[in-house]
Structure 1
Amino acid sequence: MSASVSALRRWLIFVALLRLLSVYIGFFAYERFQTNLFDKQPSEVTRLYGRTFATWTSVTCVLSLTCAANPRVAGVYGATLFAFAAAFIHFFLELVFFQTISLFNALQTLIPAGISVLWMSAGWNYYTYMANIEVSEDNADSLKHE
C-alpha cells in the first residue's frame, strides 16, 4: 500500500472521529450548536435541527470510514467527496449568504471540508485508478513468489 493511500486513510479516519463529537452534540446537546456554531442566529437552531444535523453527520462519518477502508472504490470515493463538498457549500452559504455563523466558527468546518475536497479532487485519478493498478501489480508479484 502506498504512503499516499495510507495518508488519505488516516485523514478520513481522523475527520470521521471529529464528526462523532457533532453527532453526540446534535442528539444530546443541541444547545451547543447555538453557542459554538450558529452563534450569529442561535434561535435558528432547534432540537429538530440538532437531530437532523446529527443524522446527516453520522451518515457522512460512516461514509468516510467506508472510504478509508478502501479508497480505491470509485463510487464510495465519489460519494465521500460529494459529502465533503456539500458540507463545505452548506457552511460557506451559512457564513456568506445566511449570516448565521461567524467566520471563526465556520472555519472549524470549512478547513477540514476544504482540505478534503481539494485532496480528494486532486487525487481522484490516482486513488480510483492508479492505486488499483498498484494493487494488481502487488498481487501479481505475490503470486510469483508463491
Structure 2
Amino acid sequence: MFSLQDVITTTKTTLAAMPKGYLPKWLLFISIVSVFNSIQTYVSGLELTRKVYERKPTETTHLSARTFGTWTFISCVIRFYGAMYLNEPHIFELVFMSYMVALFHFGSELLIFRTCKLGKGFMGPLVVSTTSLVWMYKQREYYTGVAW
C-alpha cells in the first residue's frame, strides 16, 4: 500500500521529469480534470453532460453521456502523455490533433447541430480547446525543435 510519502515522492519525480515550461503543466492539469469529468459521466448521470448540450438536453442519453465520458478519458490519456513527452514531435502532434477533434466536435454541436449554446457548460470545453490549440501552435518549435 502507498503511504503519503510515497505519493509525494512519486509526484515530485513525475513533475521533475516533465519538459520545462507551463504548457506541459497545463496539459497535466487538463488531463487530471478530465479524469474527474469522465468519472462523473458514469457516476452522476446526465446532469453535468446536459449542461454542455443545454440547447437540446433531451438528446443527451445515459449512453451518450457514458460514451462522452469514455472519449474524455481517452483524451485524458493522450494529454497526460503529452505532458510527459511533449518534446516528441509525434506525441506533440497527437495531442494537438486531440484538441482539434474536440474543437470540431464542440464547434459542430454549437454551429451545425445546435445542441449547445454559449453558456457556462459549453464555455469550459471551448476555452480549453482553443487556448490549448493556440498555445501549442505557437510553441511547437520550442518543444519539438521542428517548425510547422
In the superposition, the TM-score normalised over structure 2's length comes to: 0.79
Aligned mates of 1:38, 1:75 — CA distance in 2: 32
Count residues with an aligned counterpart: 128
CA-to-aligned-CA distance 1:29-49 (integer Å, 9 cap, x gap): 231145421111111111111
Q: Is the 8 A contact 2:51 2:57 kept in 1?
A: no
**Unaligned runs of at least 5 residues, structure 1:** 131-146
Which residue of 57, 61, 67 maps to 2:82? 67
Mark the CA change 1:15 to 1:60 in structure 2 (over 3 Å): closer, same or farther. Answer: same
Which structure 1 residue ranges, 4+ long, deviate > 2 Å from structure 2? none
- Pair member with larger Rg: 1
Which residue of 45, 62, 68 maps to 1:47? 62
**Unaligned runs of at least 5 residues, structure 2:** 1-15
User: Superposition pairs for residues 91-130 of structure 1, below 5 Å?
Assistant: 91-104=106-119, 105-129=121-145
Aligned mates of 1:94, 1:17 — CA distance in 2: 25
Name the residue aligned to 2:45.
Answer: 30
Aligned mates of 1:113, 1:123 — CA distance in 2: 15
In the superposition, the TM-score normalised over structure 1's length comes to: 0.80
Q: Is the 8 A contact 2:110 2:117 kept in 1?
A: yes
> Does 2:100 align with 1:85?
yes
Name the residue aligned to 1:21.
Answer: 36
Mark the CA change 1:124 to 1:34 in structure 2 (over 3 Å): closer, same or farther. Answer: closer
Q: Is the 8 A contact 2:31 2:80 kept in 1?
A: yes
The alignment yields a C-alpha RMSD, in angstroms, of 1.8
